[in-house]
Structure 1
Amino acid sequence: MRLALCQLTASTDPQENLNRVRESAQRAAADGARLAVFPEATMARFGVPLGPVAQPLDGPWAEGVRSVARETGLTLVVGMFTPAPDGRVANTLLVTGPGTESSYDKIHLYDAFGFRESDTVAPGERVVTVRVDEVTVGLATCYDLRFPELFQAHADAGATLSVLPAAWGAGPGKLTQWDLLVRARALDASVWLAAVGQAAPEPGADPEQPTKAPTGVGHSALVGPDGTVRTRLGAGPEVVTADIDVAEADRVRRTVAVLDNRRLQGGRRA
């Protein structure tokens, strides 16, 4: 399957960002992609009040994304915010395309490095996989990257590809951690991992310099199930397509059977 890593810099204007989704999706479709993955918070970047931005999954912004999917024939994975029952919002991935309609709410919230995502965002509770062109795809978002059990749950559900939209926060060592973790999670679960982050907020931004909100450092990557980087982007906005071989995940799982050899699951001996 051919997929597209659609790295962009989101603004605070959802309509402007929807236009960017359309432009990137058109480029991905022209290059033969079937799946296009966009960053976390594509609807509106972090650093602004999220409550006024949030819309339900049947609201106009999500309908706009569905329109792009219909126009291009692609399945899109796009980060947005939806209202949560308790007055907070959910950090949601909308997945929409031919024969596919689903969503995932970020499970692990970014209460780290001085941020408190849980103050305004309610956590999700469900592991979600979807089918795209007969490929099972697991869904995760940004800080989820630090929790290997989620990606192993994708594999247990039949996924050979996990996608990780992100708005990775800048700061000392954070880019190095991003590179390490995307490779480790692919290797942990023997899955392809498409990690697509927000581009750096401005040209030349120093990824070692913390920002007031996690607005991205770029460096999206496609990692093979053996933990090797197959495609890596730079810091700025970019759309890159790449092919994945689903059978490679099966070959890796036969060679290094970490999923079959697990003896501790959920903190207890299986």
Structure 2
Amino acid sequence: MAMAQVMNDADVDAIAASAAAEGADVIVFPEMFSNGYSRFDPEDRTARQAWIDAAVPIDGAFVKGVREVARRHGLAIVATFLERGSPKPFNSAVLIDSRGDVVLHQRKRHICFFDIPEEACAAGETSSVARLRTAAGEVTIGIMICMDREFPDVAADLVGEGVEIILVPNSCPLVDDPAVGDVRVAGVRALAFQSVLGVAVANYPAPKDDGRSFAVDPLGKVLSMGGPQPDLVITDFDLDRIRALQKEDWFRRVR
């Protein structure tokens, strides 16, 4: 698993090539990568509308470009984007398999309606999983977008569908938040332990956020964590171990 801790002006093709060279099966980009989770002046109606107008369709050039990259390098990619919608756009992600096919489409359910820019977005309503083919065999993947990881209804829906690994595109401080410190890391560790699954979080580097993209195993152990700088953070998930623990601790996954 590769977590692309980069800004949205990075060369996606080069990043995918590096991830493939490291043996990654999947690469995850930070939240709303199509516009770099950009903001607008809430008092400027023109700026707000321009931000909304920059939303892209799921079958548009942005997603098609990432599909081509996935196909070219033979790895799966979680691409994130401001998705065109009516009357409001969505904060969305797609899982693209190594053949370049979209196998999962997820809209952020718990949007930050209290802040710019997401107060201009609509919320998604459901969560689902995909069976992704990898070099290690098939794995059941789900997606939570940033704040979705803080709400039990999303986890319950994914666990109910048999999720084994959750991928989290993110845009917020993970370790150095001035108000809550590293509580988000603690929350992800608890999520992994409580639901017996692996989690990988991809975040923007400093100074936009604080980097620290990380992955945890189903016992809540941090497997890897990046620093604040741009990076490609790599980790390995032991699928046999995840499945053995899910069988052993089956009661944690009863909803």
1:68-217 equivalences in 2 (<5 Å): 68-86=69-87, 88-99=88-99, 100-101=101-102, 102-112=104-114, 115=115, 118-133=118-133, 134-169=138-173, 171-201=177-207, 215-217=208-210
The CA RMSD measured in Å over matched residues stands at 1.9
Deviation at 1:216, TM superposition (A): 2.2
- Give the drift of 1:257: 3.6
Unaligned runs of 5+ in 1: 11-15, 202-214, 266-270
% identical aligned pairs? 26
Q: TM-score, normalised by structure 2?
A: 0.86
Question: Is structure 2 residue 24 aligned with structure 1 residue 23?
Answer: no
**CA pair 106-244 structure 1, distance change in 2 beyond 3 A:** same
Which consecutive segments of 4 or more residues in structure 1 shift more than 3 A?
254-258
Letter in 1 for 2:238: D
User: Is 1:256 equivalent to 2:249 in the alignment?
Assistant: yes
2:214 to 210, 221, 231: 221
Query: SS where residue 53 of structure 2 aligns?
Result: coil
Q: Tell me the number of residue pairs that the alignment of Structure 1 and Structure 2 aligns.
A: 237
Would the alpha carbon gap of residues 177 and 56 (structure 1) be closer, same or farther in structure 2, given more than 3 Å must change? Answer: same
For 1:161 and 1:218, the matched residues in 2 are separated by 21
CA separation in 2, counterparts of 1:162 and 1:83? Answer: 25
Equivalent in the alignment of 2:45: none
183-192 or 151-160, larger mean C-alpha shift: 151-160
Q: TM-score, normalised by structure 1?
A: 0.81
